Amino acid sequence: MNLFKTFVPSTLLIGSLLGSLSYAQSYTDPERPTGGTFTRFSAEDFFNRGVEKYDKGDKKGALQEWNKAIEVNPTFTKAYANRAIVHAELGDKKGAAEDYKTVESILKTDYLNALKQSRKFQR
């Protein structure tokens, strides 16, 4: 199965863009202190760290990073989709199905919201 890295199929583009725009907050990772202060990471940072861990064969580490990405941005469809792939690879069909349902729900919501917005401009 292929992970989402930089290429995003058009069906996920709307969900990931709208989700990223609505959550500009960051997560403070207490495990990575820098010079006495904490480094702040965005959902995209955690997502990319998850991809790196997955590429190195650390699937459980990748899941942890994607969990953090989702904690920062609960509508981050790429993180849910990648997490679903890894759940399936690890034999967790229930976890994979739940993540895919979440992606579908987010995309459906984003699509309906975009449709409502477009109708405002058509009047």
All structural domains of the chain: 10-121 (1.25.40.10)
Please choose, from the candidates 78, 83, 93, the residue with its C-alpha nearest in 3D space to the C-alpha of residue 19. Answer: 78
Rounded to 10 degrees, what is the CA torsion of 117, 42, 74, 24? -30
pLDDT in tens, 58-112: 999 999 999 999 999 999 999 999 999 999 999 999 999 999 999 999 999 999 9
Length of the chain (residues) = 123
- Rounded Cα distance between 69 and 46, Å, is 5
Whole-model pTM: value is: 0.68
